[in-house]
Amino acid sequence: MTHAPTGSHAHTGYHRYHIPTKPAPDIEKWPSRFKVKVRRSGLAKLLLSEVFHYRGRKDVILSRPCMYGVFSGPVGGFMPREEHCVGCLRCTTEFPEFVRIEHNPERQKLGDSYFTFNYVDQIAYESSSGLVPVRGAGYRGKFGGEGWDGMWTDMSEIVRPTRDGIHGRETISTVVDIGYTPNFLQFDAAGQPVGNTPQTLSIQLPILFDGGDLPRGGQAAAIYARAAAELDTLAVLTFEQAIGLGQYARAVVPVLRPQDAARLGQLGFVPRVVEMHGWDDALHAAITAAFPEAIIALRTGFEDTPALVAYAQRGVKVFHLLADFHGRSPEGGFVLDLIRDAHKAFVDAGIREEVTLLGSGGMIAAEHMPKAMICGLDAVAVDTPLLVALQARFGGECASRTASEFVLPARLSEAWGVQRLKNLAASWRDQLLEILGAMGLREVRRLRGEMGRAMFMKTLEADAFAGLLGYTEAN
């Protein structure tokens, strides 16, 4: 069975890319967001007084402040249904003496110190609904901070080529190219291209699925592969995970290690892209021999930028750069800065246009994707958010790419998992369109390296507050 790209209409030759979403509710019951505590004696007293006061007017007596069904069970407020609570606080405002709403500490334990429960909540909403999270009452978080939180994207007041963003008719392209493009083309006397020619493939959104460091794939690998195939993107999987997924050959990117050189035939299909886990001459030769048309990417760390440029000059044209799951390099650098450094190294070498930079690690929210691209990535290979979308629980701190433990639900079904990942991709893509629309960009490829359309807290704060008593650049 083959899986056509989402939204494809082969009979017309044209399709406008669209990700079909549908609700995919949680299969694992997670702790409610709020704890609802009702002092039953207080409630009983209230009921008695209201029975007397309202002379048995049942609808008046039973009218409770909650609109969300917390107190609408068979025994009302005596057994509140916490899972319905949205934290509006109307009940505790009306009855401060005996109703108390608290954040549920069990919910706040979801995730870890980097992938905090707020991010988990967001991913859960996105993957269950496929929608862009929309809420009222403004921004609620910290002013800024380190890393992603200290960066804002630009917008255009009036002059922009796109109009209505995700709600309008004009297309904003999210297609990205992966592979090699020469800085310029050369032609012979007959007008035929000579020398290096482009070797790229296009995917419909700048989101890849990265399962390349998950030792126990099982059903998750098949979910990644099928979802990637249906989305017309790529799923990076270990060699063992990739074996047997030939039906998704267009989408599967096997990660190969030196020991795999002799058994490439076991893969059972010809991949369009492969990743080498670190450089190895023999492995490279074996891949070239077995899959001569495949694009070969180097999967490695961000930190050694001179080495990256050297690899590019030796012929590697696609780099999948890795930080740990908390976005850190072994030396402690943060992924936002690591991306900028890598991008700049290729720009300085004059070969940025020739290479593709993919990145993973620490990019766990929709907004991190455009920010990472502004810093220099061509596309983001998403890792831990996929696991959260599949309702995986974190086994403690999960920073390490090799030693972290994620526990997937026992009842994981492929159809449900695929829909969750498609919903997540749809939500993130729509949020990307919001950013692109606000910036006035018609295609995501123009976002790459657009540092002039980003604002950083340190710079803005220095511009605004320099000269104030107590302010130093060190702040």
The Cα 35–Cα 43 span in angstroms is 17
Question: Should residue 226 be labelled a site residue for other proteins when binding is judged by CB under 8 A?
Answer: no
Question: Should residue 51 be labelled a site residue for other proteins when binding is judged by CB under 8 A?
Answer: no
Instruction: Report the candidate in 368, 373, 433 with the shortest Cα–Cα distance to residue 19.
Output: 433
The Cα 332–Cα 219 span in angstroms is 33
Question: Should residue 450 be labelled a site residue for other proteins when binding is judged by CB under 8 A?
Answer: no
Per-residue tokens: 182: 């020469």
Q: Which span sits near other proteins by CB under 8 A: 107-115, 199-207, 283-291, 429-437?
A: 429-437
The residues in 292-351 that bind other proteins, with binding defined as CB under 8 A, are: none
**Comparison of 37 and 40: residue with beta carbon closer to other proteins:** 37
Q: How far is CA 298 from CA 274, 280, 315, 395, 466, in A?
A: 9, 10, 11, 29, 44
Question: Should residue 452 be labelled a site residue for other proteins when binding is judged by CB under 8 A?
Answer: yes
Rounded to a whole number of angstroms, the minimum distance from the CB of residue 436 to other proteins is 9
Question: Should residue 90 be labelled a site residue for other proteins when binding is judged by CB under 8 A?
Answer: yes
Question: Should residue 6 be labelled a site residue for other proteins when binding is judged by CB under 8 A?
Answer: no
Q: What is the DSSP secondary-structure string of 150-175?
A: GEEE---SS--S--SGGGSSS--B--
**Comparison of 88 and 243: residue with beta carbon closer to other proteins:** 88
Question: Should residue 55 be labelled a site residue for other proteins when binding is judged by CB under 8 A?
Answer: yes
Residue 46: which H helix or E strand, with range? Answer: helix 40-53
**Which residues, 6 or more positions from 121, have their beta carbon under 8 angstroms from its beta carbon?**
33, 110
The residues in 138-197 that bind other proteins, with binding defined as CB under 8 A, are: 138-145, 149, 151-160, 163-165, 167-168
Count other C-beta atoms under 10 Å from residue 54's C-beta: 14
Question: Should residue 284 be labelled a site residue for other proteins when binding is judged by CB under 8 A?
Answer: no
Question: Should residue 371 be labelled a site residue for other proteins when binding is judged by CB under 8 A?
Answer: yes
The residues in 23-42 that bind other proteins, with binding defined as CB under 8 A, are: 34
| Burial grade of 30 (CB within 10 A; 0-12, 13-18, 19 or more) | middle
**Comparison of 27 and 457: residue with beta carbon closer to other proteins:** 457
Question: Should residue 100 be labelled a site residue for other proteins when binding is judged by CB under 8 A?
Answer: yes
Of 4, 48, 79, 89, the one binding other proteins by CB under 8 A: 89
DSSP assignment, residue 286?
H
Question: Should residue 96 be labelled a site residue for other proteins when binding is judged by CB under 8 A?
Answer: yes
Q: How many residues bind other proteins (CB under 8 A)?
A: 82
